[in-house]
């Protein structure tokens, strides 16, 4: 097999550039991953708040259904 200097230099350059790009690309990838985790945490927190609001709504509806007129505010009962 014949040694081809231009092919060798292209391969060596590709390998060296990969190492250099990886060193500079790592901080960017860390920032992107950090932003993704922050976004996921924010969405999870909002979903938990909405789930709690829904549970409160359903608990109030259940109390009204089982308690009948007793759950009415005093203002409405007198009117």
Contact by Cβ (8 Å): 36, 30: no
- H helices of the chain, in order, are 5-67, 74-78
Average pLDDT over residues 53-63: 95
Least confident range of 10-14, 20-24, 56-60: 20-24
pLDDT in tens, 13-26: 998 888 888 888 88
Q: How far apart are the first and last CA of the chain?
A: 102
Residue 1, pLDDT score: 75
Domain boundaries of the chain, sorted by first residue: 9-65
Q: What is the pTM of this model?
A: 0.53
């Amino acid at each position: 097999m014949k040694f081809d200097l231009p092919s060798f230099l292209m391969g060596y350059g590709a390998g060296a550039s990969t190492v250099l790009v990886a060193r500079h690309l790592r901080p960017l990838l860390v920032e992107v991953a950090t932003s993704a985790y922050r976004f996921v945490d924010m969405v999870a927190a909002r979903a938990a708040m909405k789930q709690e609001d829904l549970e409160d709504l359903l608990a109030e509806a259940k109390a009204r259904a089982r308690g009948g007129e007793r759950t009415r505010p005093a203002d409405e009962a007198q009117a």
